[in-house]
Amino acid sequence: MLYKLPEETLILQDTVKRFVDNELIPLERKFPERPNSYELPEDVFLELTAKVHEMGLTARETPEDAGGAGLGTLDNCIVTEQVHRSTAGCSVFSATFASMLYELGTEEQKERYLVPSVKGEFHGASAFSEPGAGGDLAGIQTTIEKTDDGWVINGNKCWIFKAKTARFILVLTRLKGTERHDGLQWVIVDSDAPGFKVGREQKMIHGQNTYELFFDNCIVDEKQLLGKQGQAWSSGTDYLFSGRIQIAARALGIADRCLEMAKEYAKIRHTFGKPLSSRQAIQWMIADSALELHSCRLLVYDTALRAQEGEKVYTETAMAKLSATEMVAKVVDRAMQIHGAAGLSDESILERCYRDVRPMRIYEGTSEALRSMIARDLLK
């Protein structure tokens, strides 16, 4: 158990916190109708990404020898937590999927996709979920098979972030004729690949909309296959589940900001001649939020450190994601309750946070699926 963050991690935490306070939080009022940085004016977005580059945090999860920041899982969580204390500009720190390319890619694939992604020349997207397979990734039905024309993909994906602007997509497929964990295959699909199409936009309540993807006899070359043939589950499992730690860290940042807002408002808002902070009901809301946030933070940090040291923490990541996403929902709800009508209006960021946190209990494994996973592991 890590009870105190290392000195270098504390410096990183403070650096990112100051950047968020000085650069991102002011954007919430300046561009209230633009909830994420991909919707910011291009000049603002480019200015922010340039500053992130100066901080040395571009492609933060990518090893240094590939041009990234080389942050470990714990430091990456610390950055994610601080960045998501703001509801604006978060995507200037977005992932590049470079870690997967670094781990499994050939030298040609790295040169074509990894290096430009790290430099910020373009970005990719990842496509796992399907209409009949979300939390159960072993149940995907999108197939890939070898033909005389090359490798052919058929199927469709849904709920894919950033697909409209992505230069390439990391697609999880299965070799035709295989089932469950056997035969899963990663493949890199260029946005202009024949037979590939981005479908309708799927509106999401938190503003970061997703897209359907269609593969109709989509032909890719042998060199587009990523990793060992048919072994995506064993060679890329860490990537599949690492997103859960980041979602948990994101929940910590949102909860931390909302708790701070609740405390400040409780001290300045008066009812019947007394501040809200003097009311026991309000005190208990704040105390419960602080207690739950602190407990989740310890769980997330511990899981991240174990992952950083090479442990297989699939159960722990499920616990962290489950606990943190359910915790943040309660913290945001209490903060809104303390603010009253002000919490429901767009005069504060609370209503936006309320929308932001609701999907967290669904994507990257629903709360129900994670509970089942945890129980199965414990009962083996």
DSSP 122-168: --EEEE--BTTBSS-GGG---EEEEETTEEEEEEEEEEEETTTT-SE
Q: Are 49 and 144 contained in the same domain? A: no
Residue 366 falls within a domain, yes or no?
yes
> Which of 174, 199, 231 lies at the terminal end of a domain, its last residue?
231
Q: Any bridge partners for residue 231, and if so which?
A: 184
Q: Are 224 and 259 contained in the same domain? A: no
> Which of 73, 93, 113 lies at the terminal end of a domain, its last residue?
93
Angstrom distance (rounded) from CA 77 to CA 251: 11
Q: Are 248 and 212 contained in the same domain? A: no
What does the DSSP 8-state code read for residue 259?
H
Q: Are 88 and 62 contained in the same domain? A: yes
Residues 40, 31 contacting (CB under 8 angstroms)? yes
Q: Are 208 and 283 contained in the same domain? A: no
Q: Any bridge partners for residue 152, and if so which?
A: 145, 219
> Which of 199, 214, 231 lies at the terminal end of a domain, its last residue?
231
Pairing of strands 168-175, 124-127: parallel
Residue 106 falls within a domain, yes or no?
no
Residue 109 falls within a domain, yes or no?
no
Domain range holding 177?
124-231
Residues 99, 73 contacting (CB under 8 angstroms)? no
Angstrom distance (rounded) from CA 17 to CA 55: 12
Q: Are 201 and 242 contained in the same domain? A: no
Q: Are 176 and 256 contained in the same domain? A: no
Q: Are 245 and 129 contained in the same domain? A: no
Q: Return per-residue pLDDT of the chain as tens, 380 residues.
A: 667 899 999 999 999 999 999 999 998 888 766 545 456 787 888 889 889 888 888 778 888 887 788 899 999 999 999 999 998 888 788 655 677 888 889 999 999 998 888 877 888 898 988 988 776 778 899 999 999 989 999 999 998 988 888 999 999 999 999 998 889 999 999 999 999 999 998 877 666 778 999 999 999 999 999 988 887 877 655 666 678 999 999 999 999 999 999 999 999 999 999 999 999 999 999 999 999 999 999 999 999 999 999 898 989 999 999 999 999 999 999 999 999 999 998 888 999 899 999 999 998 889 999 999 999 999 98
Q: What is the CATH number of the domain that holds 182?
A: 2.40.110.10
Q: Angle, nearest 10°, between helix axes 237-268 and 350-357?
A: 150
Residue 116 falls within a domain, yes or no?
no
Q: In the annotation, is 364 catalytic? A: yes
Pairing of strands 168-175, 150-161: unpaired
Residue 118 falls within a domain, yes or no?
no
Residue 150 falls within a domain, yes or no?
yes
State both tokens at 26. 């002011």
Number of domains the chain contains: 3
CA angle 24, 303, 243 (to 5 degrees): 55
Angstrom distance (rounded) from CA 91 to CA 39: 10
Q: Are 217 and 259 contained in the same domain? A: no
Residues 240, 137 contacting (CB under 8 angstroms)? yes
Q: What is the CATH number of the domain that holds 21?
A: 1.10.540.10
Element housing 217 (H / E): strand 210-220
Angstrom distance (rounded) from CA 80 to CA 84: 6
Return the percent helix, strand and coil in the chain, to nearest 5: 55, 15, 30
Angstrom distance (rounded) from CA 244 to CA 183: 24
- Residues near 49 by Cβ (< 8 Å), separated by ≥ 6? 58, 92, 120
Q: In whole angstroms, how far apart are CA 162 and each of 29, 167, 192, 201, 302? A: 24, 10, 15, 10, 30
Q: Are 205 and 249 contained in the same domain? A: no
Residue 18 falls within a domain, yes or no?
yes
- Catalytic-labelled residue, pool 212, 292, 316, 364: 364
Residue 119 falls within a domain, yes or no?
no
Q: What is the CATH number of the domain that holds 258?
A: 1.20.140.10
Q: Are 54 and 134 contained in the same domain? A: no
Q: Are 50 and 67 contained in the same domain? A: yes
